[in-house]
Amino acid sequence: MTRTEAKDKIIFALDVHNLQEIDRFAALLSGKVGMFKVGKELFTTAGPAAVEAVKRHGGEVFLDLKYHDIPNTVAQAMLAAGRMGVKLANLHALGGPEMMSQAAEAVRTNFSDSERPRLLAVTILTSSTQETLSAVGIDHPVEQMVVRLAKLARESGMDGVVASPLEIEAIRAACGPDFLIVTPGVRPAFAAVDDQKRIMTPAEAVKAGADYLVIGRPIAKAADPAAAADLIVDEIVGGC
C-alpha cells in the first residue's frame, strides 16, 4: 500500500468546540489525513459553519450526526447534509429498513452519483457491550447483531457501516467487497487506549478490511499532531 492510499484511509475526528480549533487542525493536518469528521459536539456548537471551515481548507467532511428518527425526517436531514457537500453522512441502523431506504432513495434521487454523500449506518456503538444491549431488551450477541444490522443496511441501500474493528471480518464476509466499512476504536502502537474498549491497531484494522479509520485523540492529543498522523501512515504502510 502506498503512503497516499494509507493517508486517504484516515478520518480525523474533529472533536473540538470552536472554529479556531478547526482552523488549527485543518491547517496542521490537510494533506496528512484523508477526511475530517464533524460530529455532534462540534455541529451543535458551530453548525454548518464547521463544515464550511473544513472545506475552506480543502478538506473532505464526514458528517457524523447519527440520525435516528421517523423516515421522512431522516431523509430530509440527509438531503440537507448533501446540500452542504459532505462526502459521508450517517444514521443508526436500529432506525430500521424503512428509515434507511427513504434516506438512500432521497440522496440518490436528488444528487448525481458523483455528488451524493455516501451513507453509512452505525451498527452497534464501540462503547456498547452485551450488558448495554440486554438493558434495552436485545438478547443477541453483539457480533450477531452487528452482522444482522450490516446486512439490513446493505439491503436498504446504505453504502456501508460504522462498526468496531473486531467486527470488520464478519461484516466483510457477509456484505461483500464493495460495502464501505468505517471503523473507530483504532489505536496506534504509540497512543493511549483512552475509553475505547474493543480496539485494534491501524494496520490490523486495514488488514482486516477497513476502508476508513476514524481516529481522534491519538492525533489531537499528540505533542505534534502532524507527526502523529505521519506515524500512523507509517504503521499502516509497514503492516500491509
Ligand X SMILES: O=C(O)c1cc(=O)[nH]c(=O)n1[C@@H]1O[C@H](COP(=O)(O)O)[C@@H](O)[C@H]1O
216 is in an annotated binding site: yes
Q: Which of 66, 87, 151, 207 is catalytic?
A: 66
Query: If binding is defined by CB under 6 A, does position 216 make contact with ligand X?
Result: yes
Retrieve residue 1's grid coordinates.
500500500
Query: Which residue from 104, 215, 228, 231 is in contact with ligand X, where contact means CB under 6 A?
Result: 215
Position with the least CB separation from ligand X: 216
Query: If binding is defined by CB under 6 A, does position 122 make contact with ligand X?
Result: yes
Nearer residue to ligand X within complex by CB, 44 or 72 = 44
Nearer residue to ligand X within complex by CB, 156 or 164 = 164
Q: Are 65 and 40 in contact (CB under 8 A)?
A: yes
**Which residues, numbered 43-72, are part of the site for ligand X (CB under 6 A)?**
64
Where do the DSSP E strands lie in 113-230?
A: 118-122, 160-162, 180-183, 212-215
Query: Which residue from 5, 8, 15, 52 is in contact with ligand X, where contact means CB under 6 A?
Result: 15
Query: If binding is defined by CB under 6 A, does position 42 make contact with ligand X?
Result: no
User: For cell 457537500, what's the residue?
Assistant: 85
**Closest approach of ligand X to the CB of residue 29, in Å:** 14
Nearest CA to 111 among 84, 140, 79? 79
Nearer residue to ligand X within complex by CB, 71 or 184 = 184
Query: If binding is defined by CB under 6 A, does position 214 make contact with ligand X?
Result: yes
Query: If binding is defined by CB under 6 A, does position 125 make contact with ligand X?
Result: yes
* 137: alpha, beta or left? (left if phi > 0; alpha if psi -120 to 50): left
**Binding string, residues 178-207; x marks residues near ligand X by CB under 6 A:** ------xx--------x-x-----------
Nearer residue to ligand X within complex by CB, 107 or 186 = 186
CB-based contacts of 2, cutoff 8 Å, min separation 6 = 237
Nearer residue to ligand X within complex by CB, 112 or 136 = 136
SS3 content of the chain, % helix, strand, coil (to 5): 50, 15, 35
- Residue 66 a catalytic site member: yes
- Give the total residue count for the chain: 240
Nearest CA to 159 among 143, 181, 144, 174? 181
What's the burial of 33, exposed, middle or buried (CB within 10 Å: 0-12/13-18/19+)? buried
Retrieve residue 61's grid coordinates.
467532511
72 is in an annotated binding site: yes
CA angle 216, 163, 200 (to 5 degrees): 60
Q: How far apart are CA 81 and CA 48, in angstroms?
A: 9
Query: If binding is defined by CB under 6 A, does position 159 make contact with ligand X?
Result: no
Query: If binding is defined by CB under 6 A, does position 162 make contact with ligand X?
Result: yes
What amino acid positions are annotated as catalytic residues?
A: 66
Q: Write out the residues near ligand X by the rule CB under 6 A.
A: 13, 15, 39, 64, 122, 125-126, 162, 184-185, 194, 196, 214-218
